[in-house]
Amino acid sequence: MRPSQFGALHSDTGSRSSLGPAFGHSQGRYLLRFESLFHSGRGLSFPCDERGQVMLDLLSEQARDNYLFARAVVGHEYATPVVRRCDE
């Protein structure tokens, strides 16, 4: 797997992330969603397992930076993240 296969993007209407077909058994079925506190419908999402654990080694450099930023500003810029199934 190449890290460039995975990433998280800013989104106006929801979350988008590129999940590769070989992302892992449970890793590809869930997203950890950080919802913006100031811009309704915007946020960041990252592939995770059912417990919300993100495999940082599988994220692109930009996605990893976005994830670490989002975690650092929970309560200031983003709400506490929630785990969602990808099919929601």
pLDDT at 62: 98
What pLDDT, on the 0 to 100 scale, is given for residue 42?
96
What pLDDT sits at residue 87?
78
Overall average pLDDT of the 13-26 stretch: 43
CB within 8 Å of 42: residues ≥ 6 apart: 10, 11, 12, 35, 36
Q: Tell me the per-residue pLDDT of 24-80, one tens digit each, with 9 for 90 and over.
A: 445 569 999 999 999 999 999 999 999 999 999 999 999 999 999 999 999 999 999
Boundaries of every domain in the chain: 3-85
Q: Is the pLDDT of residue 8 over 50?
A: no
